[in-house]
Structure formats: C-alpha cells, structure tokens
Structure 1
Amino acid sequence: MTGQVLKTARLEAFSDGVFAIAITLLVIEIKVPEDTAHLWEQLGHLWPSYLGYVISFLVIGLIWANHHAMFDHIASADRVLLFLNTILLMLVALIPFTAGVLASALRNHEGERTAVVLYGVVLVAGGLPFNATWEYARRGHRLLGDTITPDEARTMSRRFLKGPLLYGVGTALGALLPVLGIIAFSLLIPFYWLPPLTRRIKT
C-alpha cells in the first residue's frame, strides 16, 4: 500500500486544522490579570506573553502560507508524503508550548538562553520535514502537477532550504545572547512572509 497514490484534499484539510488549532492555542499563554486595581501595570507585565504570541502567531502563519504554496503544486500524495507531513504538523503543534516557555523565562528573568534555544531548535526541526516533504514530492516531478516546471520547483527548494539554516543561525545567536536570537527570529518573519504571498493562491 506504500505506493498507493492519493488525493491531497484530506491531507490539506487535516493540516489546515492543525495549523488553526496551534495558532489559536497561543492566546492561552496570555493570562487575564487578577489584580484589576492596577490593571495597566498588570497588563504591562504581560509583555513577554505578547511578544511570544506575536512572533509565534506570525511564524505559524508563514509556515501555513508556505505549506499552502507548496501544496498548490503537489497534485497527489502517497504514504511517505503523509508521514513526512505528519511529522511537520507534530512540530508545528509544539510551537505554542515553546512560546509559553519563552514568555515564562523572559517574565522571570531566568533561563532565557535555554528558552530561546529551545524555541529555535523547534523551528529548525520543523524546517526539516517541511523541506523533506517538498523534496520528496518534486524529485523526478514525482507528485507534482503541471502548475510548476522542474526549474521553478528547484527555485522553491532553494528558498525553502534557507529556512532551517537561517533559524539555525538565530538559534546560535540566541545561545550567545538571548535577545539576539529573538531579534533574528523576528527579522526572519517579514523575510519569509513576502515570497509566498506573491505566489498564486488556490480558491
């Protein structure tokens, strides 16, 4: 059954569901202040949670946008592709946890380096099955449709491959100085948001 060719509709629907749940769970980390007598002050103390929420929301969003662009060209799937996509989703679902750890470390001023490195490692790890999914689908135009040429597919590969490398650099910077890692992750958001949005979106 491993060679069975499948349609991608259910895979994409399941993936969209996981992305939607993961991105929604991020708001749970933002706790409602109990001391409403000093509400502005209490809301201000929540800035690490706001930071983790914004960065992680946009990161998950850009992963979804790239995933959407990728499956705009993947016409069919098999069991291997399903497995690779599942590993990707497993790591996406872990991002809300790492965002919470990061916010907690920043709020308590303890463990910031470990929290930033953990956050970066999950992003790097997520880039591996993402790239593996695309590389598996495009090799020999195995699972791609006629919406993209082999040369265009290679161009997308080069763009996708930069992701884990750049997040790896951000993680290394975070290991040296946590704020540098956070800045690097933040700067990669606009860098990676722009290219996918220029591509055709399926309706």
Structure 2
Amino acid sequence: MSAEQPEPEHTIERLIFFSDAVFAIAITLLIIEIHVPELERGAGALDYVQALAYLIPNFVGFLISFFVIGAFWAGHHRAFACAVRWSDRLVFPNLLILCAIAAMPFFTAFVSANPNARVPVAVYCGWLLVTGFLNMNLQRVVLAPPVVSPVLSPGRAETIRRRGLAVVLGAATAVLVAIVSPIPALAEAALVTIPLWRKLLDRRAARAAAAQRVGTGASPE
C-alpha cells in the first residue's frame, strides 16, 4: 500500500491513541522517580522536614517536566486535529518525538539530582531543544498534503508552526543560559521565555500580514 493511498479512519486514530499512551506514561514516570524518604523508626519532625527539603529539587524538576510534556502533548493534539488522511510518512517522525518524550523522566531525574551542575542542566535543556526540533519535523509532515485537511486555513497552520518554533527558541535560550550563566540552575527558569518567543513571533507575523495588505491595497479586517 503506497503512502498516498487512503486507509480506514481508525489508522490515524490508532497512532494518536498510542501517542497519548506514551505521553501519559512518561508524565506518570516523572513522579515515580521521586522516592519516599526512608527514615529510621522514631525519627523526629525535624528529620522529616529535612528529608522533604532535600527533595525540593526533585519536585521542581517534576513540575517543570510535567508542564513541558503537557505542552508537547497539547501541540501534538493541536497538529493532529488538522489531519484527515493517513500517510506512512507519519510513522517515523511520530516515533521520534515519542522517543524523546519517553526519555524525559531520565533527564528530569538527572538534572534534579544535580540541580546546579552545568552539564546536567545543559543536557536537560539540550534534550528539550532536540525534542522541539523533532516536534517541528512532525508538524511539517502533519500540516502538509496528503495528511492535512484541505479546508485548513493557512493562518491556522502558520500559528501551529510558530508555536513549535517558539519552543525551539525557548529551549535554545535555556541551553545558552546553562552554558554561560554562573548559576546554571537559571537555565530551567529561562524556559519561561517560550511564551514570550511565541508572542514575539505572533507580532512579527501580524506586522508582515499588515504590510502585505497595504502592499496589495487590501483593507484591514
């Protein structure tokens, strides 16, 4: 069967269900990596407080990765909402992004155990950058014929692509901070630049659209 030949509707649904399962398992494994402190019988309240305090970096890593994986899942859902036709070209790019997501619990545990060490922080942010590129590659396939819906507006497709690019730019910013900052842990905080990059890209696209309307003599909407 060729990549262009239509297949039953459930073919895409099976791919989406499988992908959702991988996202769900990865996001669950994040908390499983945080182990309950083992204290001797009769330990005092201060001992329990100190044991929990030692786990703060683990919980910070859990929360960051939870929402990172959640954001990638939302992007995956957003892109496949535009897909109406199966193509064999979907399989490998989708497996690559799922591979990256499945590895997130390891990298989260690695950076949580070494919260201010440059290499673990840079590796964690670098893995997010790799995942962002893989996400953009999958979007490229999903938002192109024969997969994409023929009635999808170009503006909607461009919005999805800009969101994917914003993730890459935010992760690249975090990698740069991890490399040059005297406090490597600030790199994870740099991930908050992702929505800022998205707004910047949206404004740039709006200005380009306005300039195009002026150039063609079209009235603004």
For the superposition of Structure 1 and Structure 2, which TM-score range results when normalised by the shorter chain?
0.7 to 0.9
Aligned to 1:64: 73
CA contact (8 A) 1:75 1:143 kept: yes
Could you report, residue by residue, the CA deviation over 1:8-45 in whole angstroms, capped at 9, with x for unpaired residues? 10000000000000000001221111116111111111
Identity across matched positions, percent: 33
From 137, 145, 167, the equivalent of 2:142 is: 137
The alignment status of 1:161 with 2:170, answered yes or no, reads no
- 1:199 is matched with which residue? none
Report the structure number with the largest CA radius of gyration: 2
Q: Which runs of 5+ in 1 are unaligned?
A: 195-203
Q: What TM-score, normalized to structure 2?
A: 0.78
Decide whether aligned partners of structure 1 residues 88 and 102 sit closer, same or farther in structure 2, where only a CA change above 3 A counts. Answer: same
Partner of 2:129: 124
Note if 1:52 corresponds to 2:61: yes
Give the drift of 1:146: 4.8
8 Å Cα contact 1:58-1:189 kept in structure 2: no
Query: Aligned partner of 2:54: which letter?
Result: H
**Structure 1 segments (4+ residues) deviating >3 Å:** 4-7, 188-194
Looking at both structures, which has the greater relative contact order when contacts are Cα pairs under 8 Å and sequence separation is at least 6?
A: 1
- C-alpha displacement of 1:192: 9.0
Pairing of 1:17-32 with structure 2 (within 5 A) = 17-32=21-36
* Residue type of the alignment partner of 1:55: I
* CA RMSD in angstroms, aligned pairs only: 2.2
**Cα pair distance change 1:91/1:159, threshold 3 Å:** same
> Which deviates the most, 39-48 or 145-154?
145-154
- Offset of 1:137 from its aligned partner? 2.5
Deviation at 1:82, TM superposition (A): 1.1
| C-alpha deviation, 1:154, in angstroms | 2.0
Find the counterpart in structure 1 of residue 215 from structure 2. Answer: none
Query: C-alpha distance in 2, partners of 1:116/1:172?
Result: 11
Instruction: Give the Cα–Cα distance (whole angstroms) in 2 for the partners of residues 54 and 175 of structure 1.
Output: 23
- In 2 relative to 1, CA 193–149 (structure 1 residues): closer, same or farther, beyond 3 Å? closer
1:126 maps to a residue whose letter is T
TM-score (normalizing by structure 1)? 0.84
Mapping of 1:48-197 within 5 angstroms? 48-106=57-115, 112-139=117-144, 141-146=145-150, 148-177=152-181, 178-185=184-191, 187-188=192-193
1:54-101 C-alpha deviation (Å, 9 max, x unpaired): 101111111111111111111123121111010000000111000000
